[in-house]
Amino acid sequence: MEEKIIKTEYSEVMQKSYIDYAMSVIVARALPDVRDGLKPVQRRTLYDMHELGIRHDRPYRKSARIVGDTMGKYHPHGDSSIYEALVVMTQDFKKGLPLIDGHGNFGNIEGDGAAAMRYTEARLEKITQEAFLADLDKDVVDFIPNFDETEKEPSVLPVKIPNLLINGSEGIAVGMATSIPPHNLAEVIDAMKAYMKDANLSTRELMKYVKGPDFPTGGIVINQNDLLEIYETGTGKVKVRGKVEVEKGKNGRINLVITEIPYPMIGVNIAKFLMDVANLAETKKTTDIVDISNQSSKEGIRIVIELKKDTDVENFKNLLYKKTRLEDTFGVNMLAICDGRPETMGLKRILKENVDFQFETATRKYKTLLSKELERKEIQEGLIKACNVIDLVIEILRGSKDRPMAKACLVEGKTDGIKFKSRESKVMAGMLSFSEKQADAILEMRLYKLIGLELEALLKEHETTMANIYLYEDILASRDSMAQVIIRELDDIKKEYGRKRRTTIENAKEAVYEEKKVEEMEVMFLMDRFGYAKTVDMTVYERNKEAAESEHKYIFPCKNTGRVCLFTNTGQLHTIKVMDLPAGKFRDKGIPIDNVSNYDSAKEEIVWMASQSDLNLYRLIFATKLSMLKVVDGGEFDVTKRTVAATKLLEGDEVISVEILREQRNIVLQTAGGYFLRFSVDEIPEKKKGAVGVRGMKLSPDDVVENVYYTQNTAECSIEYKDKLVDLNKMKLGKRDSKGVKIRV
């Protein structure tokens, strides 16, 4: 075969390919159809179960069998997507109306996943058979070829209820996403009936029936006034709160019991909620919590928060609404496939599309039924007519050489070649004019049909057929008659499967939490050499002063309402709220300083720590290993950010010392090479925190400052250097930016 090269612009190929891919994902994967409210994977799974005969009144079948059959016949996109869709359709905490009856571990509301498909079993729910798959044999929807054109599948299921609203939908496509909340089946059916009776109803009037979302998890929708705009535009935000009850606890305490949760909280967010509540106690946002426990079971949600006797319950509820996911937002975007393209629709438009679909499927259904009844009528009339001349029919059959000869006589009155007993019979046979179908039915008729009772049954059957024909013709002739039939079916579904609303709709005030003012007091900050920090009362510290000083690296007083400043070798300042530190007993371990700050012990080292309130009163001296020095006003570090730059560093430099400037007169720099330089602190200029500073001493190549000491003129100050005692005050006073002297050992 000759090779053919097509020259084209690369950008055009990419654009076309991406658009084709995007539309494939949008239409064939991620978004539901407005008519049946199902994504393709859901539709194919339900249809495959229907084809396999896995009905509600038959035994369960392995999920793996269903998934494999669906993937092989209709959905060649991997077993995980099919099984996940099957699992979600069984979960009553996600779907207002589960479509599949699952047997085994199909996950739970707390986020535990379903067991592997080889362990679980499933079958269709009764309503799925009755309202989703019932009329597939009546040519109510179009069937299209599957992916390899070896099977046929329905383009849409003939769903009799607005499933898009009842079960909602969530999906992420390319450049768009759908998020439709579930609604109450009875309310949606009432709204659909009202729209069928009067298509001019406004969204506001339809909302007399559909009050708002009805989440399977219950809860309280608190922005009722916003719902009208949401249902008109198809987009918006629904604010949902959990339901909280107050019970009496032990020893006069108060139990706050959460019995319903916001829909977005289902799954791992329940565990996160428990952690958030515990965190409120750990970080001292509230001191009212005594204990928290999750007592949820198959019976329902029950999360118990035990509170102190004097707790302001309403204020504490508002704290939960503000600081945890007990109040959450469900983003509504009612996007679905309509006429082959994605559209965002409001409540009225969705009901219109569903009503139009019901009339379309009903029209096709009753046309099919009418056609079958007319065919049945034709055959019945032929049999009745044949029974009236049964002797002649028998004579024709006995006198014919073969079936075609007999049939030709019955249909066209041809008597050539047929032996008759009399000329009269031949004349009568020539007058016969049965239809093709009638003749076939006569030829296949069994002799027992000639029994009297059978003839009576045939006549009654004919009467029933004629009644059905008149009924179907009436339904097809009048939209009102068809509407009555549809409404009757909707009423039956509502009567059997309708339930009371779970979610309360109201307008609630915004949660306002008033923080209790903390009484300011002085505490002692303690941090050991492993980086575990805590605070203790001053009286506790005084009783354990000796042990505290021997076991801890940093010890200083601070205000419980203040902050602690942490300076690192990388020139960063990390601030920590004292309230974030555990305040407990002296022997409590404390909390890693990394957990309450941006400090990373793996990448930086602590050079110095102090109370922020102390820094405002003094100036600080910074010294680096490359001998850069400066004095900075402590007020520059009065910041609220968790991390700021404390100083600017040259490349390869790092901070080795930060000190408060109090009564120091001289500074002594000691290098790794053994050089010492002592000069007056007054020679160090005051700079801003963003400055590099000035050079303290001249360094030899590869030499760096190792230690920094401060002395007073009168006080004795000695250090041990390589097993030799060195009196720093007896060193010759030099000048900044000089070489210094080398100590000989």
Tell me the per-residue pLDDT of 657-668, one tens digit each, with 9 for 90 and over. Answer: 999 988 888 999
Check pLDDT > 80 for residue 123. Answer: yes
Mean pLDDT of 282-304: 86
559 and 613 Cβ atoms separated by less than 8 Å = yes
Which string of DSSP letters, residue by residue, matches 296-317? -BTTB--EEEEE-TT--HHHHH
Token pair belonging to 90: 């069984």
Whole-angstrom distance, CA of residue 671 vs CA of residue 656: 12
Average pLDDT over residues 243-263: 90
In single-letter form, the type of residue at position 20 comes to: D
> Reading across the β-sheet that carries 563-568, which strands appear in turn?
606-611, 563-568, 572-577, 643-645
Phi, psi for 605 (deg, rounded to 5): -125, 145
Least confident range from 369-383, 443-457, 575-589: namely 443-457
The Cα–Cα gap between 410 and 439 comes to 6
Of 74, 119, 532, 675, catalytic: 119
Of 166-170, 256-260, 412-416, 529-533, minimum mean pLDDT range: 412-416
Q: Is the CATH code 1.10.268.10 the one for domain 353-497?
A: yes
Question: Which structure tokens are listed for 73?
Answer: 């016949």
- In this predicted structure, what is the pLDDT of residue 296? 87
Distance CA 525, CA 520 (A): 15
Q: Residue 139: left if φ>0, alpha if ψ -120 to 50, beta else—which one?
A: left
**How far, in whole angstroms, is CA 741 from its chain's centroid?**
70
Q: Which residue has the higher pLDDT, 623 or 515?
A: 623
Query: What local confidence, expressed as pLDDT, does residue 590 receive?
Result: 87
Q: Which residue has the higher pLDDT, 282 or 508?
A: 508
Note if 263 is an active site residue.
no
Q: Around Cβ 281, how many Cβ atoms within 10 Å?
A: 16
CB distance 189 to 183 below 8 Å: no
Interval 216-242 mean pLDDT: 94
Mean pLDDT computed over every residue of the chain:
89
Residue 583: closest CA among 606, 558, 615: 558
Topology of domain 38-158, CATH: Topoisomerase II; domain 5 (3.90.199)
pLDDT of residue 556: 93
Would you identify the CATH topology of the domain 243-325?
Gyrase A; domain 2 (3.30.1360)
pLDDT of residue 689 exceeding 60: yes
User: Domain spanning 616-745: which CATH class is it, in words?
Assistant: mainly beta
Q: Where in the chain is CATH 2.120.10.90?
A: 616-745
What whole-number distance in Å separates Cα of residue 648 and Cα of residue 624?
Answer: 10
569, amino acid identity = N
Residue ranges, CATH 3.30.1360.40, the chain: 243-325
Inter-residue contact 585 to 567 (CB < 8 Å): no
Least confident of 7-11, 142-146, 641-645, 680-684: 7-11
Q: Where in the chain is the domain with CATH 1.10.268.10?
A: 353-497
pLDDT for 433 = 83
Helix (H) or strand (E) holding 350: helix 347-388
**What single letter denotes the amino acid at residue 577?**
K
Q: Which of 35-49, 170-184, 486-500 has the lowest mean pLDDT?
A: 170-184
For residues 673 and 706, what is the distance between their CA atoms, to the nearest angstrom? Answer: 9
- Using alpha carbons, list the distances in angstroms from residue 13 to 9, 18, 19: 7, 8, 10
**Among 557, 628, 564, which residue's Cα sits nearest to residue 593?**
564
Inform me whether the pLDDT recorded for 684 exceeds 60.
yes
pLDDT, one tens digit per residue, over 599-609 is 998 899 999 99
- Considering only CA atoms, which of 403, 430, 400 is closest in space to residue 414? 430
pLDDT at 54: 95
Using 50, 70 and 90 to split pLDDT, how confident is the model at 452? Answer: low
Write down the pLDDT at residue 431.
85
